[in-house]
Structure 1
Amino acid sequence: MGKPTGFMEYDKKKVKEKAPLARVKNFEEYTERLSDKDLATQGARCMDCGTPFCHMGIEIRGFAAGCPINNYIPEWNDLVYQGQWKEALERLMMTNNFPEFTGRVCPAPCEGSCTLGINEPSVAIKSIEQSIIDKGFEMGWVQPRIPQKRTDKRVAVIGSGPAGLAAADELNQLGHQVTVYERDDRAGGLLMYGIPNMKLDKKIVERRINLLQAEGIQFVLNTAVGKDITADELKAQYDAVVLATGATKARELRMEGSDARGVVPAMNYLHDVTKSLLDSNFEDERALNVKGKNVIVIGGGDTGADCVATAVRQGCKSVHQFGKHPALPAVRQPEQPWPSDPQVYKLDYAYAEADAKFGGDPREYCIQTKKIVADERGRVKELHTIQMNKIVNDEGYAYFEEIPGTEKVWPADYVFVAIGFQGAESAVAEQFGVKMLNNRVHASRLDYTTNVQGVFAAGDARRGPSLIVWAIKEGREVATQVANYLAETHAIAQ
């Protein structure tokens, strides 16, 4: 695949990024595509592996290894190298319903499992993937695929995130009549309101939704199950139901002062900013604005990073992100052997922007918030913290110890809580009488069935918070199981 000696001749070239101080002036995507020539060179670096691990899609010790949707990565790398872009698009679409999403926001475990990555920078798989689909739309190669035959079977998909959209896409292409229900005012789930525009332009999401509509999928928005429509009504109207509601139940911050005004769930902040941007380009002034304010983000993950980037764009006075763990190592560690995706230090887009704006990485490591202090009006004014030591004992159990004398007071006007998600909200499952287990919709990993006949579950709602590619994989797989169920019930009825 690629040029036999390409990996020895060419260096890895990352996707272009706009200068940090320039891109923070707006909410446009911060990356730019490489030229076709550069992309061909990057495709040439793909080795003729005896066994390509990049597309195996498994987990090793809890870490992703390879592409969960089993993309034919070496094949479309070679086709891009050969300049056969349309053929590369056809190969890509065989396994990935939405490469324009994964090519932008997937953390690319495929690159962590690249054979070349053992001792050299991996192949630039993610940027090649995004470029293939973007070129496909630009060239007009991506057109509505209208099923030639329709069945009389109707399927309701609850939730329009990546799992729900993938399930709807697959079932629609099989000829079934699919309706997607979304409680928000726009379809896309986390793709629309959970990921900021500078990482995933919402025109990209809307373009795909419009395409799915043109292919025959119906979208019912502003409709919450249990409020605007009941589970009984849905079961009466549809032959099968897929619960793909995501894992949107946020962990709560429980400490002294956490109820102060100005302490805000991170996803609420990101949602409202994106909605105001889309509704009025911020002219409605409905989004929380931290201009001139001191911002603290509690939680060291991607959602917290997105809060940092958003706050910088709004013109905050200062921003810091607190994480309880130490900084990640610079290189792969023994407990994360190849081909698992290594957890290593990276200067994410948000941190590069904060560094350029304020002269330092906004992340604070091994730090514990002890309490939040409010002023006489009940608004947050400061955070009290202490530094921690992470200790791993002989049995491998990790715990934290406070370091005396490291107490510190931080001024804060807003605190964004980004400490992760517990799992799925229970309201929809309860409506259908579906069991929950450990904050997840209880469904079989083999056939995605729940305890209620004809009701299936997939994506983060079933597996817990995870990667977009796992959601797409589960959406594709649940569609197969639903199709089998519809075929069986049809045969029994006859």
Structure 2
Amino acid sequence: MAKQPMLKFVNIERDMPEKRPPDLRSRDFDEIYAEFADAKAAEQSSRCSQCGVPYCQSHCPLHNNIPDWLRLTAEGRLREAYEVSQATNTFPEICGRICPQDRLCEGNCVIEQSGHGTVTIGSVEKYITDTAWEEGWVTPAAPRQERSESVGIIGAGPGGLAAADMLRQQGIQVTVYDRYDRAGGLLTYGIPGFKLEKDVVMRRIDQLEQGGVTFRLDCNVGEDIGFDEIREAHDAVVIATGVYKSRDLQAPGIGAQGIVRALDYLTASNRQNMGDTVPEYESGELNAKGKRVVVIGGGDTAMDCVRTAIRQGAESVRCLYRRDRANMPGSQREVANAEEEGVEFVWLSAPKGFTGDTVEGVMVSRMRLGAPDATGRQMPEVIEGADYVEEADLVIKALGFEPEDLPTLWSQPELEVTRWGTVKADFRTHQTAMPGVYAVGDIVRGASLVVWAIRDGREAADAIIAEFASREVVAAE
């Protein structure tokens, strides 16, 4: 009788890949987790209980076949594990690095609920695909035949790239338009290298180009090319612009020099680390070196900012968040990493103003959690008489993002948007009210996760492929 390769969670404890010590990793922008070795990946995969109803899979936006590729990894069948993994996920090595597994698959692992520690799903996912790249199993799209239909995709972030990959697999001609000089969107310019090294993203871009995807970079729709022009050039259009407009504060002194937007700060850092000349970084405007840094916000973008500031050599880094630790939206894993690296979190605190023409301090209101709002979340309330000033030389606003006004920017009043400014699209096909125009990712959902953008892009591609197929049927009749 064959030896049972799975259900070893009772005897084998959860074990994450080795994490570089804080005093070493805080000096550079390299990823902080080491790669699993073959034996360790197989060992940790063997802890999976192979549930009849796998909650890890149902809580993954892509519904990845997690138990299947864990079993294949435990059995040493890595190529098959990769094939199963990439069948539902266009970029598994990226999701393995940046998905908040503690809130999704791993957070809903059955053995975690029973007190044995969740399976290290994200680390195994990363290992499988990194191995696939090393072994040459990841290949460009090679459709059986080329098709005449073409699709224009506006935005080279994860949603747009996922759609491009799926469409090229079917031989459809794809052109991706993006305002930046490199593809990848926030994968390239928003997420720091210590979470996602940029060669991992560029490798995927190269693969898509080799597979026949055309990229038109430094191309700002509405300025360098019109939306109508793109529609006329293609049989369908996918809007995948993401949301880049930063939310702002209304407070005295908000216009002071030294108060900057999170995206500007992160983009400057990423560009500098990729070898670009960044005047705002070199001048010190977007550089934390030697400064007392205060980051306002509690999401993953705020975590990226505080950890970037540490690596730039800040004198001190504090993060202000108006609720407590248990109620912050960012990943608890990222909070723990930041604390290890020397970030101080000031919970239940909110800015009420700023001092100095060049910022010298943040006027802070102390908060407490009051009655729940309509969503059931406790609302922060100001504690009167408990204000103080937090000294600062650089303040980074990480308050989230909002959609740009696309109907106005693109002169497309018929493009329907919600009251929040996001594009209205069917939640299954992702088609908008405009014929042949689809929308995916954050521009539909609001600021969300990379994995949701990938799902949207794949679903929109499926809908477009089905639409093209239906036209063939009609033409044949």
The TM-score normalised by the length of structure 2 is 0.93
Structure 1 residue 319 corresponds to structure 2 residue 281: no
Per-residue CA shift, 1:6-29, capped at 9, x if unaligned? 010100001221111111111111
- Preserved contact between residue 300 and residue 331 of structure 2 (Cα < 8 Å): no
Between 202-211 and 16-25, report the one with greater CA deviation: 16-25
* Alpha-carbon separation, structure 2, partners of 1:473 and 1:302: 20
How many Å apart are 1:490 and its aligned residue?
4.4
Q: Look up the match of 2:306.
A: 308
Quick one: distance in 2 between partners of 1:4 and 1:309?
37
Residues 461-490 of structure 1: CA distance to partner in whole angstroms, max 9, x if unpaired?
111111111111111000011112223344
The counterpart of 2:51, out of the listed 49, 52, 64, is 49
Letter in 2 for 1:53: Y
Measured after TM superposition, the shift of residue 103 of structure 1 is 0.5
Segments of 5+ residues of structure 2 without an aligned counterpart are none
Aligned 8 A contact 1:245 1:424 in 2: no
Greater Cα offset, 420-429 or 313-322: 420-429
Match of 2:437 in 1: 455
**8 Å CA contact retained: 2:7, 2:48:** no
Which residue number in structure 2 is paired with residue 400 of structure 1?
380
Superposed, 1:268-347 pairs within 5 Å as 268-280=264-276, 285=282, 288-328=286-326, 347=335
Q: Which residue of structure 2 lines up, in the alignment, with residue 63 of structure 1? A: none
- Say if 1:448 and 1:370 are closer, same or farther in 2 by CA, change over 3 A: same
Q: Please, which of 75, 98, 101 is the counterpart of residue 105 of structure 1?
A: 98
Provide Cα deviations, 1:183-215, integer angstroms capped at 9, x if missing partner.
001000010001011110100000000001111
In the TM superposition, what is the alpha-carbon distance from 1:405 to its structure 2 partner?
3.7
Q: Judging changes above 3 Å, is the alpha-carbon distance between structure 1 residues 77 and 424 closer, same or farther for their aligned structure 2 residues? A: farther
Per the alignment, residue 441 of structure 1 pairs with: 423
Aligned match for 2:136, one of 119, 140, 145: 140
The whole-number CA distance in structure 2 between the counterparts of 1:206 and 1:160 is: 12
Unpaired runs of at least 5, structure 1: 57-65, 331-340, 355-360
Partner of 2:358: 379
How far apart, in 2, do the equivalents of 1:253 and 1:307 lie?
17
Q: Quick one: which amino acid aligns to residue 170 of structure 1?
A: M
Give 1:151-190 correspondences, 5 Å limit: 151-190=147-186
| 1-structure distance, mates of 2:99, 2:121 | 11
CA contact (8 A) 1:249 1:425 kept: no
**In structure 1, what residue type is equivalent to 2:282?**
E
Q: CA deviation at 1:414?
A: 0.8
Separation (CA, whole Å) in 2 of partners of 1:280 and 1:49: 48
Q: Which residue of structure 2 aligns with residue 39 of structure 1?
A: 41
Range 430-439 or range 175-184, more displaced: 430-439
Equivalent residue for 1:67? 60
Give deviations 1:69-113, integer Å, cap 9, x for gaps.
Answer: 011101111111111111111111111110111010000111111
Query: Superposed, which structure 2 residues align to 1:17-28 within 5 Å?
Result: 17-28=19-30
| Larger CA deviation: 405-414 vs 205-214 | 405-414
Measure, in 1, the Cα distance between the counterparts of 2:260 and 2:427.
35
Is the contact made by 2:99 and 2:451 (CA closer than 8 Å) also made in structure 1? yes
CA distance in 1, matches of 2:158, 2:96: 13
- Displacement of 1:429: 7.1
C-alpha displacement of 1:4: 4.1
Q: 1:486 to 1:424 in 2, by over 3 A?
A: farther
Aligned to 2:464: 482
Q: 1:349 aligns with which of 331, 337, 349?
A: 337
Q: Distance in 1 between matches of 2:332 and 2:158?
A: 26
Per-residue CA distance 1:437-482 (angstroms, 9 max, x = gap): 1220111113211121111101111111111111111110000111
Per the TM alignment, residue 426 of structure 1 is displaced from its structure 2 partner at its CA by 2.4
- Contact 1:3/1:46 (8 A) holds in 2: no
Instruction: Tell me which amino acid in the other structure corresponds to 1:311.
Output: A
Letter in 2 for 1:379: T
Query: What are the Cα deviations for residues 418-439 of structure 1, in whole angstroms up to 9, with x where unaligned?
Result: 0111235526874444111122
Q: Structure 1 residues 187, 423: closer, same or farther in 2, change over 3 A?
A: same
Flag the 1:6–1:397 CA change in 2: closer, same or farther, 3 A: closer
Mapped partners of 1:452, 1:198: distance in 2: 40
Q: Which amino acid aligns with 1:22?
A: L
AA at the equivalent of 2:296: I
Say how many residue pairs are matched: 466
C-alpha RMSD of the superposition: 2.3
3-state secondary structure, aligned to 2:31: coil
Give secondary structure in 2 for the equivalent of 1:328. helix
Percent identity at matched positions? 38
Distance 1:10 1:37, change over 3 A: same
Hey, what's the Cα distance between the residues in 2 that align with 1:346 and 1:235? 41
Counterpart CA distance in 2 for 1:2 and 1:311 is 48
Whether contact under 8 Å (1:3, 1:47) holds in the other structure is no
**Higher mean C-alpha displacement, 395-404 vs 405-414:** 395-404
Helix, strand or coil: the match of 2:282?
coil
Is the alpha carbon distance of 1:5 and 1:102 closer, same or farther for their aligned partners in structure 2, counting shifts above 3 Å?
Answer: closer
1:285 corresponds to which letter in structure 2? E
Specify the code of the residue in structure 1 equivalent to 2:205: I
Structure 2 CA distance for aligned equivalents of residues 200 and 343 of structure 1 = 15
Check 1:345–1:177 CA distance in 2 against 1; reply closer, same or farther (3 A cut): closer
Q: How far apart, CA to CA, are the structure 2 residues paired with 1:449 and 1:264?
A: 36
